[in-house]
């Protein structure tokens, strides 16, 4: 499909170079040299997206394909050329430095999915990299992309995770401490892997005809509401991406998710979450939360994601500011109104939300569990300021001298919900406020066990995170809704993978 629509790199040898006048380079994955083990699959992805029976995971052909050892008949593996602004500065050519697009599949629902291996070897875009990914980061991507899907947030999906015995050397925190880790590959899927940087590299290189071809292709394939004969189709496209990106970032914020590395090459043109690296979910509420140890300037702190989104969107159209209508600006407020159980309109809602977030900031209250506990506690318990021990996040919040004032305002606002009841309110709120997220300490626990070839926690988390809004016995037993352990505060993640 892509090789028919666009010119490909005229050089087919696999060495690092500056590539021009194409969208893709043809390059085959590099198989692992050692034993390969399939450690996790998403059966839902296999069955509902790839139309495969779950038994396929036990076959040699499947293992060969998802580990880069076999290419399907008729498939031409590709690496995508793109550029990007990284931490605010133009970084030039970037591209798929360790990823291979293995094919495009149209399933029984008529959905078109692009299959990509990540960690599958060097490409012309590898720069100084070895083309590999390690178990630590691959496991985090596999779990979090699936977790985000079940939270209802647009995202790429993960079909499988394999680990090898190949040695991969990484300086995880860029401090000179190089360690040997095991190589791993994720088979990940998206409706499209085109990102803002896909268009940026062509604009910066002056390849405007190719940029038009790519943009028209993207609009025709993925934006059916935009007429191809509309002279304003690029403006319509931009306006749509602005709206949907604003929606995505608001959704990130609503579950306390920080992407960690919001460069333009990591921002999808389809406004889905892609390229999971040093992400993190907030534990204690902190608008300055930075999950990425490489982000010294805190450019990508959680409270700055909307501003970074605006910066990235301005780069998309080579314009100074994006087009936001009032509805888009209200998305954040609307999502938090839903999280707090409000119905209808009230002029004080924005103040109530800001008031709560300030209390959470001052008390370092846990972001996820504060909203979840508000979803579970009764109005009578709140009215009496009697916070049962199980609602530990609200107990932290209650230490603030203004907590009772906020509760009074909150209960008055709930009383203005027409035709509502306390039971309806709690039921409604528990469907939008998750009880379980992939906290860094949970991922780290799974990573540590995985290093010892124990993948039990990977599988447990995979199951738990498929139903983040439902209370689950196994999750409670594992402590996934309790206070994060003390050692979690010292956890660090970086771009190293």
Same domain, 43 and 184: yes
Same domain, 262 and 378: no
Question: How far is it, in rounded angstroms, from Cα 372 to Cα 29?
Answer: 44
pLDDT digits (tens, 9 = 90+) for 358-378: 999 999 999 999 999 999 999
Place of tokens 């505060």: 489
Last residue of a domain, one of 161, 190, 219: 190
Last residue of a domain, one of 398, 430, 462: 430
Q: Is 495 part of a structural domain of the chain?
A: no
pLDDT computed for residue 293 by the predictor: 87
Same domain, 166 and 201: no
pLDDT computed for residue 314 by the predictor: 85
H helix intervals, 22-88: 43-48, 60-66
Q: Is 468 part of a structural domain of the chain?
A: yes
pLDDT computed for residue 321 by the predictor: 31
Q: How many residues does the chain have?
A: 497
- Helices 367-376 and 422-430, axial angle in degrees (round to 10): 150
H helix intervals, 317-466: 326-329, 331-339, 349-363, 367-376, 379-383, 392-397, 403-415, 422-430, 440-451, 456-464
This prediction's pTM? 0.88
pLDDT computed for residue 495 by the predictor: 61
Per-residue pLDDT at 323 exceeds 60 = no
Per-residue pLDDT at 326 exceeds 70 = no
Mean pLDDT score of the chain, rounded to an integer?
Answer: 92
**What does the block give as tokens for 311?**
């910066």
pLDDT computed for residue 494 by the predictor: 60
Q: Which of 53, 165, 167, 265 is catalytic?
A: 265
Under 8 Å between Cβ of 57 and 66: no
Per-residue pLDDT at 491 exceeds 60 = yes
Per-residue pLDDT at 195 exceeds 90 = yes
Q: Is 276 part of a structural domain of the chain?
A: yes
Per-residue pLDDT at 51 exceeds 90 = yes
pLDDT computed for residue 248 by the predictor: 97
Per-residue pLDDT at 319 exceeds 50 = no
pLDDT computed for residue 206 by the predictor: 87
Name the pairing type of β-strands 78-80 and 112-118.
unpaired
Same domain, 110 and 257: no
Q: Is 426 part of a structural domain of the chain?
A: yes
Strand partners, 80: 24
DSSP assigned state of 54: G
Per residue, what are the HEC states of 225-265? CCCCCCCCHHHHHHHHHHHHHHHHHHHHHHCCEECCCCCHH
The percentage of residues in the chain with a pLDDT greater than 90, rounded to a whole number, is: 81
Model confidence at 173, pLDDT cuts 50, 70, 90, reads confident
Q: Which domain holds residue 483?
A: 440-490
pLDDT computed for residue 212 by the predictor: 87
Per-residue pLDDT at 497 exceeds 70 = no
Which of 35, 127, 33, 140 minimizes the C-alpha distance to 83?
Answer: 127
pLDDT digits (tens, 9 = 90+) for 395-437: 999 999 999 999 999 999 999 999 999 999 999 999 999 999 9
Same domain, 450 and 422: no
pLDDT digits (tens, 9 = 90+) for 440-487: 999 999 999 999 999 999 999 999 999 999 999 999 999 999 999 988
Q: Higher model confidence: residue 200 or residue 155?
A: 155
Q: What's the domain count of the chain?
A: 4
Same domain, 412 and 451: no
Last residue of a domain, one of 159, 190, 221: 190
Same domain, 202 and 271: yes
Q: Is 338 part of a structural domain of the chain?
A: no
Same domain, 91 and 139: yes
pLDDT computed for residue 402 by the predictor: 96
Same domain, 201 and 177: no
Question: How far is it, in rounded angstroms, from Cα 245 to Cα 271?
Answer: 5
Report in angstroms the alpha-carbon separations of 334 from 19, 221, 314, 328, 337: 44, 30, 24, 10, 5
End-to-end, the C-alpha distance of the chain in Å comes to 30
Question: How far is it, in rounded angstroms, from Cα 266 to Cα 485?
Answer: 31
Residues 6+ apart with CB under 8 A from 4: none
**Residue 265 is among the residues annotated as catalytic for this protein:** yes
| Helix, strand or coil, per DSSP, at residue 170 | strand
Per-residue pLDDT at 275 exceeds 80 = yes
Q: Is 337 part of a structural domain of the chain?
A: no
Model confidence at 496, pLDDT cuts 50, 70, 90, reads low
Other CB atoms within 10 Å distance of the CB of residue 170: 20
Same domain, 93 and 110: yes
In terms of Cβ atoms closer than 10 Å to its own Cβ (0-12, 13-18, 19+), residue 409 is: middle
Q: Is 423 part of a structural domain of the chain?
A: yes
Per-residue pLDDT at 116 exceeds 50 = yes
**What does the block give as tokens for 126?**
């590898």
Q: Is 311 part of a structural domain of the chain?
A: yes
Q: Among positive and negative, which fits the CA dihedral 422, 370, 461, 306?
A: positive
Under 8 Å between Cβ of 150 and 38: no
The percentage of residues in the chain with a pLDDT greater than 70, rounded to a whole number, is: 96
Same domain, 251 and 185: no
Same domain, 327 and 366: no
DSSP assigned state of 34: S
Which of 175, 153, 144 minimizes the C-alpha distance to 446?
Answer: 144
pLDDT computed for residue 492 by the predictor: 72
| Helix, strand or coil, per DSSP, at residue 200 | helix
DSSP assigned state of 47: H
Per-residue pLDDT at 324 exceeds 60 = no
pLDDT digits (tens, 9 = 90+) for 373-396: 999 999 999 999 989 999 999 999
Question: How far is it, in rounded angstroms, from Cα 82 to Cα 204?
Answer: 11
Per-residue pLDDT at 174 exceeds 80 = no
pLDDT digits (tens, 9 = 90+) for 327-353: 544 677 888 999 999 999 888 898 999
């Amino acid at each position: 499909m892509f090789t028919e629509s666009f010119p490909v790199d005229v050089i087919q040898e696999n060495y690092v170079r500056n590539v021009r006048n194409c969208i893709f380079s043809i390059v085959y994955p590099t198989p692992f040299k050692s034993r390969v083990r399939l450690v996790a699959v998403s059966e839902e992805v296999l069955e509902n997206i790839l139309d495969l029976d779950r038994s396929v995971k036990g076959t040699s052909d499947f293992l060969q394909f998802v580990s880069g050892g076999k290419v399907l008949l008729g498939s031409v593996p590709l690496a995508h050329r793109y550029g990007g602004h990284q931490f605010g500065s133009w970084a030039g050519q970037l591209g798929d430095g360790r990823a291979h697009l293995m094919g495009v599949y149209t399933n029984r629902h008529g959905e078109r999915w692009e299959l990509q291996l990540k960690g599958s070897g060097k490409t012309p875009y590898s720069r100084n990299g070895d083309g590999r990914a390690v178990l630590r980061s691959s496991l985090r991507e596999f779990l979090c992309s699936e977790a985000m899907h079940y939270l209802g947030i647009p995202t790429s999906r993960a079909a499988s995770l394999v680990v090898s015995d190949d040695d991969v050397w990484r300086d995880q925190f860029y401090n000179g401490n190089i360690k040997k880790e095991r190589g791993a590959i994720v088979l990940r899927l998206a409706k499209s892997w085109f990102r803002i940087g896909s268009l940026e590299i062509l604009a910066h290189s002056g390849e405007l005809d190719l940029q038009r071809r790519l943009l028209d292709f993207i609009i025709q394939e993925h934006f059916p509401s935009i007429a191809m004969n509309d002279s304003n189709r690029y403006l319509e496209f931009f306006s749509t991406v602005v709206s949907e990106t604003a929606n995505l970032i608001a959704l990130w914020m609503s579950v306390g998710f920080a992407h960690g590395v919001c460069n333009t090459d990591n921002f999808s043109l389809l406004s889905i979450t892609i390229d999971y690296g040093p992400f993190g979910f907030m534990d204690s509420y902190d608008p300055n939360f930075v999950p990425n140890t490489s982000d010294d300037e805190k450019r990508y702190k959680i409270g700055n994601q909307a501003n970074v989104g605006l910066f990235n969107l301005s780069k998309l159209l080579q314009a100074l500011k994006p087009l936001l209508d009032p509805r888009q600006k209200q998305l954040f407020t609307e999502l938090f109104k839903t999280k707090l159980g409000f119905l209808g309109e009230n002029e004080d809602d924005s103040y109530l939300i800001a008031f709560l977030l300030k209390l959470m900031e001052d008390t370092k209250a846990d972001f996820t569990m504060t909203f979840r506990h508000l979803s579970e506690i009764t109005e009578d318990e709140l009215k009496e300021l009697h916070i049962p021990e199980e609602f530990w996040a609200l107990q932290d919040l209650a230490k603030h001298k203004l907590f009772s004032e906020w509760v009074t305002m909150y209960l008055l606002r709930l009383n203005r919900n027409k035709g509502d009841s306390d039971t309806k309110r709690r039921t409604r709120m528990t469907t939008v406020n998750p009880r379980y997220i992939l906290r860094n300490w949970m991922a780290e626990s799974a990573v540590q066990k995985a290093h010892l070839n124990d993948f039990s926690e990977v599988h447990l988390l995979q199951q738990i995170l498929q139903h983040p809004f439902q209370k689950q016995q196994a999750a409670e037993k594992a402590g996934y809704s309790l206070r994060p352990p003390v050692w979690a505060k010292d956890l660090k993640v970086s771009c190293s993978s």
